[in-house]
Structure 1
């Protein structure tokens, strides 16, 4: 949960055909991060069910009243064999009744369970592991986002977008079935206690893959603003190919002479562009800000927002900016789990790119094709910090004890780490 010169198309995909919707607008209340997602209660949801016109004319402001029967008919008519319409009983069977033993994760949408679909489940569906997302009707997100996910992933096909296999809509139940991504999310690899840290080359590969997914969305015939680019929404397959997931907040970009889309603020603290948070003006450059934040997370191994740290270090963008313009300063904030095994020049170029992406002036942010070209050029670099004076070489045998006693270092796997991290120190002037 994969390089294209033409980012607007894919040889195995259909052209992007937008539905006539006011995608993912929420007229009820302001929505942001983990704050209320304007969800109806189960009782309200049941009261509001009523037939609506053809699916292609559905407005997202009407979704809470849509009939599950009519939605199934409209979805089937719109997507045909591209998406499977599963029954709830089938999804219960392949997940062992949504067993906790099969639980992959849990969020505002609900729970995600692993399942196994054999080749007898549906004609044409190959046997494979799948991920089944079960909507919590009483939760923070809901029917609007479920249908947005079906609309976008039902039409969009790209190697760096997670594949939606099918859906289930029975009365108040809403489920989505995706391809299974065995490596989980980038968030887990960066911030959870994994046995092995992501190497520099893998981090670069993930950055390039996710950039290509975002470029595909921005370069579509009718541009799509992802609006929720973050590490938890970047999923990884067995070869660490990155794929974007969770399109519940995606929105159609501005049309004609419009420069932006004005909408309620939705997203995640730390990743959302400042101008969007302040004004509600949404553009593709809002996604580029979020991409820059993820680059900083890849470099530092720190979260975009971390309330457990001192106040001056809680916001990753604000804290890291003074360190990003020189290799010497950058060394102080590089992820210690990299053990100095990273390209000095590559890290500096990525840091400068991230700095451009998180510029307060949206017009100064680079576009996705430029970002991809920059990141791909870093793949050839082989200079490593442990051999370039950025990290001291391992002392010769017999001097280890003396060196360790004098400078307070410890040796691990041929590289030397400072016992006391220098990241808390203020950056020195060049």
Structure 2
């Protein structure tokens, strides 16, 4: 995923999908992506765009019950013709070898899709595959969306190439078995670092680096000629490389954005509660601004160290967006909600700018949310702020007296006064 690839030339014809014989038109979802450059698109959007494959046809059923009418051989033929050597067609027996028969000690995690195991391949294992560690994701055959999401991942990640998207190495489609093989991400997910490792705290600079990388991944998706809407942006889908480079994973819910005069895509509501944009939840209208809202929620998680939804907290603090809203526009109040595990070691100015950006991203009016290139630009500018808060410890809740803490004034304990912050530009 780190290599740049050239963009589509004008001589290449856009792919126009037709359904395969294995799926009925009524039950199929057809994905087509034209990754040509937009006129006036920024450099961020125009580089690292994958060349358009010469697809013959790709369609897939939305229900596992239809798999019996579509043979794995036919699916493999379509995928092989579409992607050629760019994706490796693994045999199930090969994946059992590299994961020690899906050994429990190799288990990395499990989710709605199924279990993920670590595997190892050497330079002699398969032609065209270098020696490396991989992650093998196994479809839960009982899942309602399993086959749909599996093929969506293959189609999107088979085309998309960017340093902030996880690399899909290959796939396995054998009888009713559905598996995916990715590059291994040694640092795991952002969710694990923020919420599940109680003894460790991510430094401010690392949080900012992750936010920038994830923003670039979304900006790349939104910058295609036909934008790709990620639809499931959250901390568990942001994976981290050995140097904490953020890469977006899990494209099972991704959708093509609106084309022509259309302003949105209408689809049934799917995703994760707490991250989904309110207008999408209420109407099913999906746009790239839906992703921007989800990104704003993740920014709040990075700032506060709290999850988007926490039922165990008091009623007024369960929904992160609602709880943080009164604090985000005030330099004086923001300090109350900063993640205490940072121990005061964060850029005061940087935190204020990030809070203002998050506030814009989670605006109830989608038109008021910034576009992702502007989000990237704003976050990159925060790397220049070297001012660090000098105090450790918790600020008292805003409804208590803050003039003195344990008999000493806040100023006497070294709490720094927040600096004024310039507003973040909108697009």
TM-score range, shorter chain: 0.7 to 0.9
Partner SS, residue 202 of structure 2? coil
Residue pairs, 1:3-14, within 5 angstroms: 11-12=4-5
The Cα RMSD (Å) is 2.8
Give the stretch that moved more between structures: 192-201 or 219-228.
Answer: 192-201
Deviation at 1:327, TM superposition (A): 2.1
**How far apart are residue 139 of structure 1 and its match?**
2.9
TM-score in terms of structure 1 length: 0.80
CA contact (8 A) 1:327 1:344 kept: no
After superposition, the Cα gap between the structure-2 partners of 1:95 and 1:293, relative to the gap in structure 1 and judged at 3 Å, is same
Residue of structure 2 aligned with 1:355, choices 352, 356, 359: 359
Structure 2 residue aligned with 1:85:
89
Structure 2 residue corresponding to 1:189, chosen from 187, 190, 193: 193
- 1:56 aligns with 57
Take 1:199 and 1:143, find their aligned partners in 2: how far apart are those partners? Answer: 39
Deviations 1:296-316 (A, max 9, x none): 000000000111111111100
CA distance in 2 between partners of 1:75 and 1:286 (Å) = 30
Q: Tell me the equivalent position of 2:374.
A: 370
1:102 to 1:140, Cα distance in 2 relative to 1, 3 A: farther
- Contact 2:61–2:147 (CA<8 Å) still a contact in 1? no
Query: Does 2:309 correspond to 1:305?
Result: yes
- Structure-2 change in CA distance of 1:199 and 1:27 (3 Å): farther
CA distance in 2, matches of 1:293, 1:281: 19
Question: Matches of 1:21 and 1:223 in 2, distance apart?
Answer: 20
Q: Which runs of 5+ in 2 are unaligned?
A: 20-24, 28-54, 397-403, 416-427
Query: Larger RCO: Structure 1 or Structure 2 (Cα < 8 Å, ≥ 6 residues apart)?
Result: 1
Q: Which residue matches 1:166? A: 170
Aligned equivalent of 1:46? none
Work out whether 1:73 is the aligned partner of 2:85: no
Q: Which runs of 5+ in 1 are unaligned?
A: 3-9, 29-53, 393-402, 417-430
Which of 10, 20, 32 is the equivalent residue of 2:17?
20
Q: Which digits, 9 at most, give the CA deviation of each residue in 1:335-373, with x for residues without a partner?
A: 001000001111010000000000000000000111011
C-alpha distance in structure 2 between counterparts of 1:146 and 1:208, whole Å: 28
How many Å separate the matches in 1 of 2:131 and 2:295? 35
Aligned residue pairs, count: 367
1:338 aligned residue: 342
| Cα distance in 1 for residues equivalent to 2:252 and 2:414 | 44
Q: Distance in 1 between matches of 2:154 and 2:16?
A: 12
SS in structure 2 at match of 1:333: coil
3-state SS of 2:390 partner: helix
> 1: distance between equivalents of 2:198 and 2:393?
28
1:223-262 matches, cutoff 5 A: 223-262=227-266
Query: Secondary structure at the residue paired with 1:348?
Result: helix
Aligned residues of 1:197 and 1:338 also touching (Cα < 8 A): yes
2:333 to 305, 329, 332: 329
Q: Say which SS state the counterpart of residue 385 (structure 1) adopts.
A: coil
Which TM-score applies when normalising by structure 2?
A: 0.80
Q: CA deviation at 1:195?
A: 3.4
Q: Are 2:271 and 1:264 equivalent residues in the alignment?
A: no
Among 118, 126, 146, the alignment partner of 1:122 is 126
SS at match of 2:57: helix
Which residue pairs with 1:40 in the alignment? none
1:415: how far off? Answer: 8.2
2:387 paired residue number? 383
Task: Quickly say closer, same or farther: Cα 1:404–1:294, change in 2 above 3 A.
Answer: closer
Matched, 1:406 2:407: yes
Superposition deviation, residue 386 in structure 1: 1.3
Residue 20 (structure 1) shift: 3.0
Say if 1:328 and 1:390, in contact at 8 Å, map to a contact too. Answer: no
Q: Is the 8 A contact 2:340 2:394 kept in 1?
A: no
Deviation at 1:120, TM superposition (A): 1.3
Query: Shift of residue 290 of structure 1?
Result: 0.2
- Distance in 1 (CA, whole Å) between partners of 2:291 and 2:18 is 21
Contact 1:106-1:112 at 8 Å conserved across structures:
yes
1:415, 1:99 → 2: CA distance? 52
Secondary structure in 2 aligned to 1:131? strand
The corresponding residue for 1:45 is none
2:226 to 222, 226, 229: 222
- Alignment partner of 1:112 out of 113, 116, 122: 116
- Note if contact 1:167-1:176 (Cα within 8 Å) is conserved in structure 2: yes
